[in-house]
Chains A and B, each alone.
Chain A
Amino acid sequence: MNEILKLLEEDSRYTPAQIADMTGKDEQYVRDTVKRCEEEHIINGYTALIDWDRTSEEAVTAFIEVKITPQRDDGYDRIARRIYQYDEVESLYLMSGSFDFSVIVSGKSLREVSRFVAEKLAPIDGVTSTATHFIMKRYKDKHRAFTVEPEQEERTLFV
């Protein structure tokens, strides 16, 4: 199963037939495994890595450090749920160290993201402070570098 997952993580466009060839498994087995992983939320979706900076689309992303007071009974989870349900929230992680949540928020403009932090995130019960860092440039995401390295000069040789 993990072999199939690793291939999908590498490129989710691989077809079951390709994955079957690359792993030496049966195509039906691959289909069944992927379906089961989807049902069990091991696979939680498929998406594309887009460098919006190369488009005309205006977009900003912020990384926000959030400190909270954990709640009795359900610790961090209830507050986390209140945060991640907002569509603006791209990712949410519970962190070790000097703050509690790392929240990644995207929006159309600085103003939009700032308003989200001021009006939605900061006022949540239990949130004691936020520190917002805007992302200026994305160099690499999910193991993919977003910069294009110049190609090496073409060579004719025989090895």
Chain B
Amino acid sequence: MMDYESILSQRVQSLQPSGIRRFFDILDTMQDAISLGIGEPDFVTPWHIREAGVYSLEQGHTKYTSNAGLIRLRTAISEYLYRRFDLRYDPQKEVFVTVGGSEAIDLCIRSLLNPGDEAVIPVPSFVCYGPLVTMAQGVPVYVETKAENDFKLTPEELRSAITPRTKLLILPYPNNPTGGIMERGDLEALAEVLRGTNIMVLSDEIYAELTYGQRHVSPANLPELYERTMVVNGFSKAYAMTGWRLGYVCGPAAVIKQMLKIHQYGIMSAPTTSQYAAIEALRNGDGDIETMRASYDKRRKLMLAGFRRLGLSCFEPRGAFYMFPYIGGRGLSSEEFCTRFLKEERVAIIPGSAFGEGGEGYARVCYASSVENIETALKRLGDFLGRLS
């Protein structure tokens, strides 16, 4: 008998599997359940983008690309970032194409951290940062953001988390799950705290195109943060391309060069078909972004109005496609609340506690679902809350 526990890496064994799986296991057994759980666009990739992928296959583009990705794609990314976000990166040295934003996040962390280095991670946030820091032998340092601050990271919170070992600050905005964003003034305040340190910023901007009422501002838009910022973005959320697995990272050439080595050994190159499709997305997809953004916005307002009518306290999300209502104060943990809601009303939402400290008492509700589903879910939520009180 092999004793796998003693064979396997201690570090990988120490990682907690996402606690949500059993949740989806219950969901799978239900016939007419509504899932507002998965964080994914409900659109199919626009046809002209899919068609570009198909055409690339017809043309026989089935081989590896250069490690960093097609130069035509990197150039298109560079032009896109300048056009949409006023960011300037050299497609030759400061941009490379990854397997989703996730790979970019992983490589960034692995390239920057030495064992014992600390990475500051605002929570609630997407679940990948901490485990990836741990795998890189770093130490995740979680900072709870607060509803009363619109789930922004404040300079005081940042300052209190910084130690001599701090190497990296992760800025996951627009934020999954809270829908919080950071505005220019908020970033300037953080820049003040970071001045004179060697702390790098990993800005996960996968939801950058999905903001409501104001354009996204990247930390890299601030001259004082530009040289310490790695911008991670991708095609999944802006163009509804989650299954294509394509993202990219931009930043100082010295960091990109090191990240590229890991990518070269671990991945070779991002999927070729996806890269061709992505060129089409960047060149002719601005209209698609607007159409989808307007559609999310409509549903965002619909759900927010529904929550308000039910008396649920909910921060008005200004980015991504999630609501993060407060569901506490009813004698149930957020996990108990969501499990009972799923079992009794057949609607899946995600307990806020899954997104780290500070998420307890909240639930993430994804509004990238049909108006009909949202209305039905709101009705069932009303029934459920009625029974709880």
Contacts and interface: CB of A to CB of B under 8 A. Distances in A.
A71 to B, nearest CB: 42
B330 to A, nearest CB: 24
A20 B350 CA distance: 28
Using C-beta atoms within 8 Å of the partner chain, give the interface range for chain A: 10 to 19
Contact of A14 (B20, B21, B24, B371): B371
B371 A18 contact: yes
Interface in B88-125: none
Contact of A158 (B127, B299, B302, B304): B127
B290 interface: no
Using C-beta atoms within 8 Å of the partner chain, give the interface range for chain B: 20 to 34
A22 B367 CA distance: 12
Given A7-B298, A11-B371, A154-B28, A21 B18 contact: no
A20 B298 CA distance: 10
A23 interface: yes
Interface in B22-57: 24-25, 27-28, 38-40
B25 A159 contact: no
A20 B301 CA distance: 9
A158 B18 contact: yes
Label chain B's interface by main secondary structure: helix
Given A18-B302, A21-B302, A23-B301, A156 B21 contact: yes
B15 interface: no
A7 B371 CA distance: 11
A49 B171 CA distance: 46
Query: Counting chain A CB atoms within 10 Å of each CB, which of B38, B298, B375 scores highest?
Result: B298
B356 interface: no
A50 interface: no
A127 B164 CA distance: 88
Given A11-B371, A14-B371, A22 B38 contact: no
A24 interface: yes
Nearest to B24: A156
Contact of B306 (A11, A21, A24): A21
B25 A156 contact: yes
Query: Counting chain A CB atoms within 10 Å of each CB, which of B18, B40, B127, B302 scores highest?
Result: B302
A156 B28 contact: yes
Interface of A: 7, 11, 14, 18, 20-24, 154-159
Those 7 A-B pairs whose CB atoms lie nearest each other, nearest first: A21-B305, A156-B24, A22-B298, A158-B20, A159-B39, A21-B302, A158-B18
17 contacts: A11-B371, A20-B305, A21-B302, A21-B304, A21-B305, A22-B299, A22-B302, A22-B371, A23-B301, A156-B24, A156-B28, A157-B24, A157-B38, A158-B18, A158-B21, A158-B24, A159-B126
